[in-house]
Structure 1
């Protein structure tokens, strides 16, 4: 279970309203550090987005960079990362919507200690703009292919960054 005390706002003063003026904008999503106790929830939402169960892979990613495992406070999304030879690989990033994905990606980028790599699918939407605004540039294209299938596996609308071409 997530403890609300460990959650951080994705923006300074998020959700605050001025006296006498109701806030018309919803508060930005909040995030929490994720740990082994969150693995079942992370694996379930990942399976919806990716189209296959991969709990062992996710557990391995969490142990490789535990300080970079984040989850939306409402449990609707997560981001993991892993150290690489030259950069931190951010992904997978799964969220129910663009706002959740944006909060997770901004936080993951801000917490990175140095260079990062993020593999974004075409459906990443706002995530691509956030990455570009942070100074990331495209180095290689990514195309997910399947034999004998016209529709994608899982729900690509929830997959905002992959774990890397070799991991999906």
Structure 2
């Protein structure tokens, strides 16, 4: 049985490549310089600056490894080329109306690593995204939110 590659939008992949480039070209040299400067202060056992710089180095290298692995293992999907509207699939931008409060919200379904609820980018593996996948514009559905069941209507589905 072969594992499927996790999806990622082309925009999300570009954002992660930009972050990776910044971490490698800007942040890494800054941290190396900070480690060297702290090391020059002498006794490493009691040198808090040195230990902090080494910790920053570890976090930075960990993030670089995480981004490289995500970018090499993901299937990048150009959502502008999808022609499945009004059906909701990965990459869809979905306009919802909460039928109880009349509140409107717009989400885009993206890969797990690029999700950011503050930017209304929801992970394809999230409960609300799983509830949306396969539905169509005009459908209503119930969603079990942490604060109770919500009923939404799908007002619009688009891809860009």
TM-score bracket, shorter-length normalisation: under 0.3
Instruction: Report which of the two structures shows the higher radius of gyration computed on alpha carbons.
Output: 2
Q: Which of structures 1 and 2 has the larger relative contact order (alpha carbons within 8 angstroms, sep 6+)?
A: 2
Q: TM-score, normalised by structure 1?
A: 0.21
How does the TM-score come out when normalised to structure 2? Answer: 0.22
Structure with greater proportional helix content: 2
Which structure features the higher share of strand residues?
2
